[in-house]
Amino acid sequence: MQTPTGQHNGEPLDILAVDDTPANLRVLSQALKRWGYRVRPAPNGEIALQAALARCPDLILLDVNMPDMDGYEVCRRLKAIPDLAHVPVIFISALSETLDKVTAFRVGGVDYITKPFELEEVEARVRTHLQLRETRRQLEAVNHELERLVSVRTEQLELANDRLKMLDHAKDEFLHLIAHELRTPLNGILGVAGILFDSFPDDPQVQDLQPVFENAERRLLDILNDALMLSEVEVRPESLAKSPLRIDELMRTLPFSEWQLEGFDQLTPTHLLLADVASLRRALESLMRACRNMAPHRECRAVIQLNDHFELRLVSIETYLDEEVRLRMFEPFAISEIQTAGVHLGLGPALASRILALFDGTISAEQEDDGVTFIIRLPWPGASFTRRS
């Protein structure tokens, strides 16, 4: 910011004073030097333009009535030069009509002082406009720095986004590779273990271990199958084509034999969904399995509600999951972080979430009074659907 002595960063501010009257020019120059400014006097418009081009001034004091080229024309030419357009111009003139002042502002002037002038007024206006110019400089510097920072940050975000895409792709490939490559050796291990159990049918200790083995075998195969399906959904979602399917027929194919059922009698052949029947069945089976895994020895309930959308609620009765688990269970790579004692969710919820999203459906897990409830919502064909968390 300009100091009271007319300096900026220790250097005098440069003022170009233009007037064809030597006495006026001398008075202005002496006063400006006394206030601490560096002054360059110019007796006419042509010399003023040359002086401004040679070294850009901080401010110009410009007379209006001059021979050959008046102050208005000088100002027009200054404003047409990009390197000089920002320099504040204060007109000093004996012309005091409103039209004269309007013209001065129209051609680019920032102020107008009428002659005869008071030096105190000149000093005050010069100081004010130099301060305004310095403020604009600082704002421009801040804007340039902000633009630079935004550009740098944008580039960093683009690089980070590219890395995330690469990581996502790598995770999908890894998931598919591991699931596929594990199947062959795992089948060998499971086959040998089955033979060993069959070899000792009368050994009670061996037979006591068989249910544990069969449960672990089932979980391993479920995880592998879900991993393969999940990678297929992530990499080739277009392979799951939508077509009309009857809900009543779909529900009859699901293993609800040991479930409490409510609302199923509402279903008629006219209730249709638009989805891939095999993958939708897989999604619902995965969620049913997750319900069972949360409470293996308790009952589960399935409730159908037909509103402006199809809604299926799968309730694991008398179970509890804290909010973090319920929010993160649909993330495929968070399953190792959200396991709770006695609860093994696996990849089923994540797989179901991905499949339902392909058919414009949603899924959430809510802790309700009677237990943890999976809420599946799917739109009717051709209907708009408001997604709910």
What is the residue-wise DSSP string for 208-233? HHHHHHHHHHHHHHHHHHHHHHHHHH
Whether 260 shows a pLDDT value over 90: the answer reads: yes
Q: What pLDDT score does 370 carry?
A: 87
pLDDT band at 20 (very low <50, low <70, confident <90, very high): very high
Number of C-beta neighbours around residue 310 at 10 A:
21
Q: Give the residue-averaged pLDDT of 212-234.
A: 66
Whether 51 shows a pLDDT value over 60: the answer reads: yes
Strands (DSSP E) contained in 48-88 are 59-63
Number of C-beta neighbours around residue 72 at 10 A:
22
Q: What pLDDT score does 292 carry?
A: 84
Rounded percentage of the chain residues whose pLDDT exceeds 90 = 46
Q: What pLDDT score does 168 carry?
A: 64
- For residue 290, which of 358, 226, 213 has the smallest C-alpha distance? 226
Q: Give the residue-averaged pLDDT of 11-18.
A: 92
pLDDT band at 68 (very low <50, low <70, confident <90, very high): confident
Q: What pLDDT score does 1 carry?
A: 41
Q: What pLDDT score does 229 carry?
A: 65
Asked if residues 44 and 68 have their Cβ atoms less than 8 Å apart, the reply is yes
Q: Give the residue-averaged pLDDT of 230-237.
A: 61
pLDDT digits (tens, 9 = 90+) for 158-180: 888 877 777 666 666 665 556 55
The verdict on pTM exceeding 0.85 is: no
Least reliable range by pLDDT among 91-95, 108-112, 201-205, 267-271 = 201-205
Whether 186 shows a pLDDT value over 50: the answer reads: yes
Which two three-digit tokens encode residue 369?
Answer: 């009074």
Q: What pLDDT score does 226 carry?
A: 66
pLDDT band at 250 (very low <50, low <70, confident <90, very high): very high
Report the mean per-residue pLDDT for the chain: 83
Q: Give the residue-averaged pLDDT of 202-221.
A: 73
| Maximum Cα–Cα distance across the chain | 127
Higher pLDDT, 79 or 299: 79
Whether 2 shows a pLDDT value over 60: the answer reads: no
Residue linked to tokens 């309930």: 301
CA distance 102 to 88: 16
Beta-bridge mates of residue 14 = 38
Q: What pLDDT score does 251 carry?
A: 95
